[in-house]
Structure formats: C-alpha cells, structure tokens
Structure 1
Amino acid sequence: MTPAQRLRQIANVVNLSTPLGLAVAAASRSTLTRGPRGLLIAAGYGWKLPHAGAFTLGNVILYRAPHGVAGTNSVLLGHEEQHSTQYAYCLGLPFLALYGVAAAWSMLRSGNPGSSNFFERQAGLAAGGYIDTDHHRQDGPAGNGIEAS
C-alpha cells in the first residue's frame, strides 16, 4: 500500500465508516476477503437496499456478486475505491448525508441519482455503471463546457 492508501485505511477506521461497513457485511452475511490497496471485499450482499450492484462503506466494498466474482472488475473496483477516499475526506459518516443530498439534487436536476451527483461524477460515472444524462450542461462550439442558455 502507498502511504496515501494507508492513511485512507486508518482514517476510515477512526471515522467509523469502515466499522459500519464491517457491521453491514456481517449482518448481511456477506463473505469478507482482503482486496487490494487496503480495501475489503464483501461478496454476496443480498439486502434490497441500496439497489446498486456494489456500494462502499469506508474501506468495505459490498457486492451483490458472489465470492470469486466480486472485486474482479477493476474499473468498478476503482470507482468504488474513489468512494472510499471520499469517506476519508468527508470525515466518515457525514459522507452518507452529503451523498444523500447530492443524490437528491441529481434526481431533481436530471431524473436519476447519479448523473448530476458530485460524488458519482468525481468517481467516474461510466466506471460506476451510470449514464450521463445531465443535459443541462452542454459544450460550446469549442467544447469548452460553457453553459447553454
């Protein structure tokens, strides 16, 4: 692990987001294994919410996929790893409320919880399986990101 990955791992234990992830993994009877870069992979998550194929709590990434398949898609794993970093810089559990506000804003703006969500955009929409439906922002003639009127 790099020093930054180790710092993220420690921060997410101290800020209680990883312990929450471990508790959810245990309560949902997910199979827990060590992943790369200080991440933990919880496979076989079966609760109805959230609807995502994978989601992150601290350094724990919970997958609906079974053991042996969970964590093998490096693009999705990288996306979820970005959320792990977001927990660290949001000081842990406040990330859940901030993410909820960002998802609600995205629903109001674009009709889905991801395409206008700051956290999903920062982690990479396509990597997380989201489609960019944010039509409020259009590139100008030079592709310079100028807002359309």
Structure 2
Amino acid sequence: MDRPLRIRRIVNAVNLSTPLGLLLAAAGSRGSPERGRCPGPDGLVLAGGYRWPLPAAPVFTVGNVVTARRAAADLLDRPALLRHEGRHATQYAFLLGPLMIPLYLVCAGVSLLLCGDHASANPFERQAGLADGGYTPHPIRWPFRR
C-alpha cells in the first residue's frame, strides 16, 4: 500500500470514522456472521451482511469500512465500486471525518430535490465518480425546468 493510502488509514482511525464504521457494520450485521469481514484493496475493510433499513444503499462507506448488504467477499468482484468507495474513504480522511455524515445527508437531500436522486447533484458522489458508484446522472429538474 502506498503512502497516501497508509496516511488515509491512520487519519480515519484517529478521527474515529473507521471505528464508527466498524461499530456500525457490526451492529447492523448482527446475526449474519457468515457474510463477515475481509480485507479489501487499498487499506479498506469490507464488511457484509448489513441488515438495518438505513441507509438504504446496498453499499456505503464510513471511514475505511465499506459495508454491504451482501457478503463482504462479493465486493472484491466489483473493482469500480471499490474505487468509488475508496474515494469516499479519502473524503472522510481529508475533509471532515465523522462530520461528513450530516453534511453528506444535507447534500443528498438537496440532490433529491434538484435531480430526483441523492447522487446526481451531490458533490461527494460526483467527486467519488457517479459511474464507478453505479449511478446514472440526472439533470437538474427543479425549479429551473418545468
């Protein structure tokens, strides 16, 4: 692992976003240990079996922890998605730490109002790469278009 990724891993541990991600993944996957945890690329930790209804996304990242509803190992077959989630891990490290969560939610709400989805106008998702995250971009539809 190269130096920027090691720094990202350390910063996310110190700013408590990775411990928060591990706690959330463990609490949300209780009762499905077969989907487990495994190391991912670039210092990411992959956690599977998430069952809580929120967030509704099939995959999400908190710190260096990428949490999925499916088995953690299934994520290894999706390199573009892991690049996208790795960019979110970098956002946690170099932007806001755990404070990224409420700001992300505000941006997702604004995007929902403007475009009809949580990603198209969300700067966090755009910077992470909409296509890599599996998103289809939508144009701004409100209030500028009728």
TM-score clears 0.5? yes
* CA shift digits 1:2-38 (9 cap, x unpaired): 1100000000001110000110121123611111111
| Root mean square deviation, CA, Å | 1.4
Structure 2: gaps spanning 5 or more residues = 142-146
User: Aligned AA for 2:106?
Assistant: V
Structure 1: gaps spanning 5 or more residues = 137-149
Partner of 1:125: 130
Partner of 1:94: 99
Partner of 1:110: 115
- Higher Rg: 1
Identity of counterpart residues, as a percentage? 48
Q: 4+ runs of 1 displaced by more than 6 Å?
A: none
Q: Counting helix residues as a fraction of each chain, which structure ranks higher?
A: 2
Partner of 2:25: 25
Does structure 2 conserve the Cα–Cα contact (< 8 Å) formed by 1:17 and 1:57? yes
Q: Secondary structure at the match of 1:108?
A: helix
Partner of 1:144: none
User: Aligned AA for 1:14?
Assistant: V
Partner of 1:140: none
Q: Secondary structure at the match of 2:139?
A: coil
Match among 41, 45, 48 for residue 46 of structure 2: 41
User: Aligned AA for 1:121?
Assistant: R
Deviation at 1:48, TM superposition (A): 1.2
Note closer, same or farther for the CA distance 1:12–1:67 as it changes in structure 2 (3 Å cut).
closer
Match among 59, 66, 69 for residue 64 of structure 1: 69
Count of matched residue positions in the alignment of Structure 1 and Structure 2: 136
Which is worse superposed, 29-38 or 84-93?
Answer: 29-38
For 1:110 and 1:127, the matched residues in 2 are separated by 19
Partner of 2:85: 80
Which is worse superposed, 17-26 or 60-69?
Answer: 60-69
Note closer, same or farther for the CA distance 1:67–1:135 as it changes in structure 2 (3 Å cut).
closer
